[in-house]
Amino acid sequence: MPWTREEMAARAAGELQDGFYVNLGIGIPTLVANYVPADIEVVLQSENGLLGIGPFPYEDEVDPDLINAGKQTVTTLPTSSFFSSADSFAMIRGGHIDLAILGAMEVAGNGDLANWTVPGKMIKGMGGAMDLVAGVKRVVVVMSHSDKAGNSKIVERCTLPLTGTGVVDAIISDFGRFVLDRDRGELIVQELASDLDIDFVRARTGIPIRSA
């Protein structure tokens, strides 16, 4: 069975390492905050000016003044700090964020990422995605493997406007965990969801797949 959103977020938490500064994108990536391993210390950063994000609040803990970049209510920690978005983007552009876990609409075999717009749709703007993929040390995408029509979101070449070129290092989808070999344009399987085999995933992926 394909993984649920929560299971994908839990697998993405496996990308975290002790001492990392991490930015979580809008959507499924925000759920990673609930799965930070207890034996490591990770600092979560939000580009709207918050360093040190805790798990999502329970209903009686909601503070409408505490939000992340996706306008979701969050919690803080005793070590949390607040600052301007200018300082936040200085952290990102200065290479001080170790890992970004982002959503996507398309990822190409060469690591290109499209995650900010669909032509013809009304949007407010790109937000911090372009800065993140250009400034962080590692980019992991968490997304559904296929779109609503059943087409692969992992493609040979992106057809949507790009957020960044050659930036994606790994993909966690509802089908499994994969490393992206950008030079060869291939997915390398690290783990598959229960009861799914590589042939099933290969038939639903727009680039070649191989075992580790």
* Closest to 136 in 3D by CA, of 177, 174, 93: 93
Listed residue (56, 50, 19) closest to 35, CA to CA? 56
DSSP strand pairing (106-108 vs 113-114): antiparallel
Has 47 been annotated as catalytic? yes
User: Tokens 């930070």 label which residue?
Assistant: 36
Structure tokens belonging to residue 26: 């809008």
Whole-number Å distance between alpha carbons of 160 and 117: 7
Sign, CA torsion 95/98/101/107: positive
Q: What are phi and psi of 177, to 5 degrees?
A: -110, 135
Q: Could you say which DSSP state residue 194 is in?
A: T
The catalytic position among 6, 7, 47, 61 is 47
Contact 157, 125 (CB under 8 A): no
- The span from the CA of 212 to the CA of 179, in Å, is 9
d(CA 43, CA 97): 10
Catalytic (active-site) positions: 47
